[in-house]
Amino acid sequence: MEIKLPKLSELLSYQCMFFDFDGVVLESGDIKTEAFVELYQGLGIDAEVKHHHLSNQGVSRFGKFKWIAENLLNKAYTDEMGKELGDRFSALVKQKVIEAPFVPGFKDMMEQIAEKDIYCVIASGTPDTELQSIVKERNIGHWWHEVHGSPAKKQEIVEDVLSRKGFDRSRCLFYGDASTDHEAAEITSLDFYARLTDELKDYWNSVSYKYGSTDFRDLL
Protein backbone atom coordinates (compact mmCIF):
# COMPACT_ATOMS: atom_id res chain seq x y z
CA MET A 1 0.00 0.00 0.00
CA GLU A 2 1.40 3.37 -0.98
CA ILE A 3 0.82 6.36 1.29
CA LYS A 4 -0.25 9.33 -0.84
CA LEU A 5 -0.83 12.10 1.64
CA PRO A 6 -2.42 15.31 0.31
CA LYS A 7 -1.75 18.78 1.58
CA LEU A 8 -4.71 20.15 3.50
CA SER A 9 -4.92 22.98 0.94
CA GLU A 10 -5.45 20.36 -1.81
CA LEU A 11 -8.38 18.84 0.05
CA LEU A 12 -9.95 22.22 0.73
CA SER A 13 -9.98 23.03 -3.00
CA TYR A 14 -12.73 20.46 -3.73
CA GLN A 15 -16.33 21.56 -4.36
CA CYS A 16 -17.94 18.41 -3.01
CA MET A 17 -16.90 15.43 -0.87
CA PHE A 18 -18.55 12.05 -0.38
CA PHE A 19 -17.77 9.96 2.70
CA ASP A 20 -18.30 6.32 3.50
CA PHE A 21 -19.12 6.00 7.20
CA ASP A 22 -17.79 2.84 8.88
CA GLY A 23 -14.00 2.85 8.85
CA VAL A 24 -13.81 6.41 7.48
CA VAL A 25 -15.73 8.52 10.00
CA LEU A 26 -15.85 6.06 12.91
CA GLU A 27 -13.70 3.06 13.81
CA SER A 28 -16.71 0.82 13.41
CA GLY A 29 -15.63 -1.52 10.62
CA ASP A 30 -14.45 -4.28 12.98
CA ILE A 31 -17.69 -4.02 14.98
CA LYS A 32 -19.68 -4.99 11.91
CA THR A 33 -17.26 -7.71 10.87
CA GLU A 34 -17.57 -9.34 14.29
CA ALA A 35 -21.35 -9.01 14.20
CA PHE A 36 -21.58 -10.76 10.83
CA VAL A 37 -19.57 -13.69 12.15
CA GLU A 38 -21.67 -13.81 15.34
CA LEU A 39 -24.92 -14.02 13.36
CA TYR A 40 -23.81 -17.32 11.80
CA GLN A 41 -21.86 -18.76 14.72
CA GLY A 42 -22.08 -22.51 15.13
CA LEU A 43 -22.85 -23.20 11.46
CA GLY A 44 -19.25 -23.90 10.46
CA ILE A 45 -19.05 -21.03 7.97
CA ASP A 46 -17.30 -18.37 10.08
CA ALA A 47 -14.29 -18.01 7.77
CA GLU A 48 -16.41 -17.80 4.62
CA VAL A 49 -18.79 -15.25 6.18
CA LYS A 50 -15.89 -13.06 7.31
CA HIS A 51 -14.19 -13.25 3.91
CA HIS A 52 -17.39 -12.36 2.05
CA HIS A 53 -18.10 -9.43 4.36
CA LEU A 54 -14.58 -8.01 4.08
CA SER A 55 -14.61 -8.43 0.30
CA ASN A 56 -17.90 -6.55 0.07
CA GLN A 57 -17.61 -3.78 2.63
CA GLY A 58 -19.97 -0.99 1.71
CA VAL A 59 -22.53 -3.40 0.24
CA SER A 60 -25.92 -3.46 1.96
CA ARG A 61 -26.07 -6.06 4.74
CA PHE A 62 -29.20 -7.49 3.11
CA GLY A 63 -27.31 -8.27 -0.07
CA LYS A 64 -24.77 -10.15 2.05
CA PHE A 65 -27.50 -12.04 3.92
CA LYS A 66 -28.92 -13.14 0.55
CA TRP A 67 -25.52 -14.28 -0.76
CA ILE A 68 -24.74 -16.22 2.42
CA ALA A 69 -28.14 -17.94 2.41
CA GLU A 70 -27.91 -18.98 -1.23
CA ASN A 71 -24.20 -19.76 -1.48
CA LEU A 72 -23.16 -21.00 1.96
CA LEU A 73 -26.37 -22.33 3.50
CA ASN A 74 -28.08 -23.53 0.29
CA LYS A 75 -31.32 -21.89 1.37
CA ALA A 76 -33.79 -19.73 -0.51
CA TYR A 77 -33.58 -16.14 0.72
CA THR A 78 -36.81 -14.45 1.79
CA ASP A 79 -37.67 -10.94 2.94
CA GLU A 80 -38.73 -12.39 6.29
CA MET A 81 -35.31 -13.98 6.70
CA GLY A 82 -33.65 -10.69 5.83
CA LYS A 83 -35.74 -8.74 8.33
CA GLU A 84 -34.99 -11.18 11.14
CA LEU A 85 -31.25 -11.11 10.42
CA GLY A 86 -31.32 -7.34 9.97
CA ASP A 87 -33.02 -6.81 13.33
CA ARG A 88 -30.51 -9.07 15.07
CA PHE A 89 -27.61 -7.36 13.33
CA SER A 90 -28.83 -3.88 14.30
CA ALA A 91 -29.22 -4.99 17.91
CA LEU A 92 -25.63 -6.23 17.91
CA VAL A 93 -24.01 -3.18 16.36
CA LYS A 94 -25.97 0.07 16.72
CA GLN A 95 -24.99 1.06 20.26
CA LYS A 96 -21.40 -0.06 19.69
CA VAL A 97 -21.20 2.12 16.57
CA ILE A 98 -22.65 5.10 18.44
CA GLU A 99 -19.92 4.65 21.07
CA ALA A 100 -17.08 4.00 18.61
CA PRO A 101 -14.19 6.49 18.44
CA PHE A 102 -13.52 8.63 15.40
CA VAL A 103 -10.91 7.39 12.94
CA PRO A 104 -7.73 9.14 14.14
CA GLY A 105 -7.53 12.64 12.71
CA PHE A 106 -11.01 12.58 11.16
CA LYS A 107 -12.64 15.03 13.58
CA ASP A 108 -9.88 17.63 13.19
CA MET A 109 -9.89 17.23 9.41
CA MET A 110 -13.68 17.51 9.22
CA GLU A 111 -13.76 20.65 11.31
CA GLN A 112 -11.35 22.25 8.83
CA ILE A 113 -13.51 21.12 5.90
CA ALA A 114 -16.68 22.39 7.57
CA GLU A 115 -15.25 25.92 7.70
CA LYS A 116 -15.05 25.99 3.90
CA ASP A 117 -17.79 26.14 1.29
CA ILE A 118 -17.51 22.42 0.49
CA TYR A 119 -20.67 20.34 -0.01
CA CYS A 120 -20.33 17.20 2.13
CA VAL A 121 -22.37 14.00 1.75
CA ILE A 122 -22.36 10.65 3.55
CA ALA A 123 -22.84 7.71 1.14
CA SER A 124 -22.97 4.53 3.22
CA GLY A 125 -24.12 0.93 2.92
CA THR A 126 -25.74 1.18 6.36
CA PRO A 127 -29.58 1.22 6.17
CA ASP A 128 -30.68 4.82 5.84
CA THR A 129 -32.89 5.07 8.95
CA GLU A 130 -30.20 3.47 11.14
CA LEU A 131 -27.52 5.76 9.71
CA GLN A 132 -29.63 8.88 10.26
CA SER A 133 -30.18 7.82 13.88
CA ILE A 134 -26.46 7.23 14.51
CA VAL A 135 -25.48 10.59 12.99
CA LYS A 136 -28.12 12.33 15.13
CA GLU A 137 -27.09 10.56 18.36
CA ARG A 138 -23.42 11.35 17.72
CA ASN A 139 -24.41 15.00 17.16
CA ILE A 140 -22.36 15.23 13.97
CA GLY A 141 -25.10 16.05 11.48
CA HIS A 142 -23.87 19.65 11.13
CA TRP A 143 -20.81 18.38 9.21
CA TRP A 144 -22.87 17.09 6.28
CA HIS A 145 -25.34 18.65 3.89
CA GLU A 146 -26.84 15.23 3.08
CA VAL A 147 -26.76 11.79 4.71
CA HIS A 148 -27.68 8.74 2.61
CA GLY A 149 -27.62 5.02 3.34
CA SER A 150 -28.91 1.87 1.65
CA PRO A 151 -30.89 0.72 -0.23
CA ALA A 152 -29.50 3.40 -2.56
CA LYS A 153 -26.17 2.32 -4.06
CA LYS A 154 -23.21 4.66 -3.57
CA GLN A 155 -22.80 5.48 -7.25
CA GLU A 156 -26.53 6.31 -7.40
CA ILE A 157 -26.13 8.69 -4.47
CA VAL A 158 -23.17 10.37 -6.16
CA GLU A 159 -24.93 10.76 -9.50
CA ASP A 160 -28.07 12.11 -7.87
CA VAL A 161 -26.14 14.77 -5.92
CA LEU A 162 -24.07 15.78 -8.96
CA SER A 163 -27.20 16.02 -11.09
CA ARG A 164 -29.09 18.14 -8.56
CA LYS A 165 -26.22 20.39 -7.51
CA GLY A 166 -24.33 20.73 -10.80
CA PHE A 167 -20.87 20.09 -9.37
CA ASP A 168 -17.90 19.50 -11.65
CA ARG A 169 -17.05 15.84 -10.96
CA SER A 170 -13.36 16.58 -11.52
CA ARG A 171 -13.58 18.68 -8.34
CA CYS A 172 -15.32 16.02 -6.23
CA LEU A 173 -13.64 13.56 -3.87
CA PHE A 174 -14.80 10.23 -2.40
CA TYR A 175 -13.38 8.96 0.91
CA GLY A 176 -13.61 5.20 1.44
CA ASP A 177 -11.99 2.17 3.01
CA ALA A 178 -13.55 -0.57 0.89
CA SER A 179 -13.34 -1.91 -2.64
CA THR A 180 -16.98 -0.93 -3.20
CA ASP A 181 -16.14 2.69 -2.30
CA HIS A 182 -13.26 2.71 -4.77
CA GLU A 183 -15.43 1.14 -7.47
CA ALA A 184 -18.18 3.73 -6.90
CA ALA A 185 -15.61 6.51 -7.30
CA GLU A 186 -14.26 4.94 -10.49
CA ILE A 187 -17.74 4.46 -11.98
CA THR A 188 -18.61 8.10 -11.30
CA SER A 189 -15.15 9.45 -12.26
CA LEU A 190 -14.38 10.99 -8.87
CA ASP A 191 -10.99 11.36 -7.21
CA PHE A 192 -10.58 8.83 -4.41
CA TYR A 193 -9.07 9.03 -0.93
CA ALA A 194 -8.33 5.50 0.36
CA ARG A 195 -8.30 4.86 4.09
CA LEU A 196 -5.74 2.06 3.90
CA THR A 197 -6.11 -1.04 6.08
CA ASP A 198 -4.14 -4.26 6.29
CA GLU A 199 -7.30 -6.30 5.69
CA LEU A 200 -7.49 -4.97 2.11
CA LYS A 201 -3.75 -4.60 1.50
CA ASP A 202 -3.83 -6.83 -1.58
CA TYR A 203 -6.67 -4.79 -3.06
CA TRP A 204 -5.00 -1.43 -2.47
CA ASN A 205 -1.80 -2.78 -3.98
CA SER A 206 -3.72 -3.70 -7.14
CA VAL A 207 -5.53 -0.41 -7.84
CA SER A 208 -4.72 3.29 -8.19
CA TYR A 209 -6.04 6.11 -6.05
CA LYS A 210 -5.44 9.85 -5.79
CA TYR A 211 -4.75 9.90 -2.05
CA GLY A 212 -4.23 7.23 0.58
CA SER A 213 -3.26 7.00 4.25
CA THR A 214 -3.85 4.72 7.22
CA ASP A 215 -5.71 7.52 9.02
CA PHE A 216 -6.04 11.31 8.83
CA ARG A 217 -3.71 12.47 11.60
CA ASP A 218 -0.88 13.76 9.41
CA LEU A 219 -3.00 16.16 7.35
CA LEU A 220 -2.90 19.02 9.84
Residue 82 has pLDDT above 90, yes or no: yes
Is 30-99 the same fold as 8-27+102-219? no
Residue pLDDT, tens place only, 173-195: 999 999 999 999 999 999 999 99
Q: Which CATH number, 3.30.70, 1.10.150, 1.10.10, 1.10.287, labels domain 30-99?
A: 1.10.150
Strand order in the sheet with 119-127: 146-150, 119-127, 16-19, 172-176, 191-195, 211-213
Whether 24 and 182 have beta carbons less than 8 Å apart is answered as no
- Taking the alpha carbons at both ends of the chain, their separation in whole angstroms is 22
CATH numeric code, 8-27+102-219: 3.40.50.1000
Please write down the long-range contacts of 137-143, taking CB distance under 8 Å and 24 or more positions apart: 137/98, 138/26, 138/98, 140/25, 142/114, 143/110, 143/113, 143/114
The residues spanned by each domain of the chain are 8-27+102-219, 30-99
Residue pLDDT, tens place only, 2-60: 999 999 899 999 999 999 999 999 998 788 889 889 999 999 999 999 999 888 877 88
| pLDDT at 12 (0 to 100) | 94
